[in-house]
Amino acid sequence: MFVAQAKAKYSTWPNPGASAWVSKKYQQAGGQYVETTEADRRRKMAQKKQQNAQEKKRSTKKEVNKKQDKKSEKDKGKK
């Protein structure tokens, strides 16, 4: 929201004055900047990667189970 306002207010974007204005407005609206370190970023990226892998594994298991269910239904009909 603030970036769009800054783009309308300033003739060139990005520029230091516009960036400072956006930062000031963000803080006035109650926004806070969080200090992060390289280690924090890496840990969060690793957590996201692990969660994505778990979700993928779950969805793959569901697909396999569906295929097995269909196969077993076909086998039951043949007997």
pLDDT in tens, 5-52: 999 999 988 899 999 999 999 999 998 887 788 898 899 999 999 999
* CA–CA dist 16, 22 (Å, integer): 10
pLDDT for 62 beyond 80: no
Residues contacting residue 10 through CB under 8 Å, at least 6 positions apart: 17, 18, 21
Q: What is the DSSP string of 3-25?
A: HHHHHHHSSSSS-HHHHHHHHHH
pLDDT for 79 beyond 70: no
Q: What is the pTM of this model?
A: 0.43
Packing angle of the helix pair 2-9, 16-28 (nearest 10 deg): 140
Locate the domains of the chain by residue range.
1-33, 39-79
